[in-house]
Amino acid sequence: MRSIRHYLLRTLAISMVVAGGVAVTAAYLITDHELEEILDTQLSLHSRIVAGQLDPNATMDDYARLASRMGLPDHPAQLYRHGNAVPVNSAESGPKLYHEEELKLVLGFWNADGSPRLLGGKWSESGPFPAPFEEGFRWERYDGHRWRVFSMFDIASDTWIRMGLRGSFHDKVVERITWNNLLPMLFLLPLLLWLMSRIIRRGIAPIQALSSQVQGRSAHDLRKIDNPVPQELNGLRQSLNDFIARLKETLERERRFTADAAHELRTPLAALRIHLDNAQAGGEQSLQKAYVGVERLQRVVEQLLILARLDQVTTTSPATIDLYPIIAELVAELWPLAEARDQHLRLTGLTRLEVRADEVEVGILFRNLLDNALRYTPEGGQVEVELVLWEGLPQLTVRDTGPGLPEALLDKVTERFRRASGQGTTGSGLGLSIVSELAQRQNARLTLNNRAPHGLVASVTWGQKQQQDC
């Protein structure tokens, strides 16, 4: 991943150069257009002034005196008679050049038929300048140069007047204005780049500080990040704190799970070893006890594996399923266990009940509920499974005639490895914990209540908020 600072600096620098180029180009085009209009105005105004000074009865001598004044050093004006050039007497003091740019501005007069009458110096060096044929502004080429000219016809003197400005003068002025705009930008660009680098460095400093706070922590430091950050980083800090909280909760759950599992496995393993030692010494009853211990150990391991899988899978894909065939199949599967203990197991209620849930997780949930009821119901007892609509919500209820639970334990029995004492039945204390967690994942509610005169009623209602009522 590229550096944010380098990316911003490079991108802003390129953007500044491109923006500067666009600005200079726009300035050049705008200046070119505006200057052309200004110079056209000057050409038009001066031509009208000259037209106003013309004498309709002017003679050749008058034009000869005018030619002597229009001439420039090394560039004399040219007077024409009947289309032929005639000599012009220079003024006594000679022509005077006040400014070198005068060489780029020229005035000329033509007869009504287009024949030249008087041409300024720069228009007489390579033959007569093209005669005007219409009034207005236009670009003309003469002697290898472009000329911006304005032409008008003076009716009083029956004369075409044309005033021209060399295009190089126009271009030079535009270039000077453009360079005057560009040069300050070129001189300021290094300073602006340095300022941008400093601003960017200071702007991303809080990100680096936040990164240093996280990097500098040990693996066991899961405190929240409470250092002040800019407003734009509040979301990132909150996300990091939420992640740290979830990580802390997960690690704590794993630590507690590992400790509880080690404790639960240590006891049956120690008892199993004692029973096997006794069986090896000739105790026949110890072998049967060892078999019971293996069964309990197997059940604990299976339920630990289920919990581990539930902890790893954080999302499910709920779909609309019918509870009845799933429950009926599991009831039939556990029927032999109930029959072996002379227990009465029956399925009542609706024969179709749809819920939004995951089919596999529903199967695990019900198996643990039913298995728990069968294990704690004495021989000859009853276990009833019922599918109903309770207040318009689908509900699965399992009732047994076991010993029930102490009232003080009803709100704690769903904790992992939590069991009621003195019930005379082996267990891991994980069955109802698995049911409770699966109910929460299915957006359902687990309800536990004792029944009279004895027994337990466990209900799972879908469509409720994720909570447990007892």
Supply the pLDDT for residue 309: 62
Neighbouring CB atoms inside 10 A of 436's CB total: 23
How far apart CA 376 and CA 451 sit, in angstroms, is 14
Mean pLDDT of 372-378: 86
How far apart CA 25 and CA 31 sit, in angstroms, is 10
Mean pLDDT of 87-100: 64
Dump the DSSP string for 270-316: HHHHHHHHHHHTT-HHHHHHHHHHHHHHHHHHHHHHHHHHHHH----
Residue-wise pLDDT tens digits, 28-74: 889 888 888 999 999 999 999 998 888 888 888 888 888 888 877 77
Supply the pLDDT for residue 424: 46
Residue-wise pLDDT tens digits, 436-456: 888 888 788 888 888 888 888
Instruction: Give the best-scoring range by mean pLDDT among 159-173, 196-210, 329-343.
Output: 159-173
Supply the pLDDT for residue 368: 82
Mean pLDDT of 328-345: 87
Mean pLDDT of 98-109: 81
Task: Categorize the per-residue pLDDT at 311 as very low, low, confident or very high, splitting at 50, 70 and 90.
Answer: low
Q: Has residue 413 got a pLDDT over 80?
A: no
Percent residues over pLDDT 70 in the chain: 80
Neighbouring CB atoms inside 10 A of 203's CB total: 14
Q: What's the pTM?
A: 0.45
Residue-wise pLDDT tens digits, 272-287: 677 677 777 766 666 7
Locate 150 and state its tokens.
């304005």
Supply the pLDDT for residue 220: 73
Q: Has residue 201 got a pLDDT over 90?
A: no
Supply the pLDDT for residue 469: 41
Supply the pLDDT for residue 305: 66
Supply the pLDDT for residue 242: 86
Supply the pLDDT for residue 322: 93
Supply the pLDDT for residue 421: 46
How far apart CA 436 and CA 415 sit, in angstroms, is 9
Q: Average per-residue pLDDT in the chain?
A: 80
Locate 248 and state its tokens.
């802390």
* Phi, psi dihedral angles at 460 (to 5 degrees): -120, 120
Q: Has residue 90 got a pLDDT over 60?
A: no
Decide which of 93 and 122 is more confident: 122
Residue-wise pLDDT tens digits, 151-165: 999 998 899 999 999
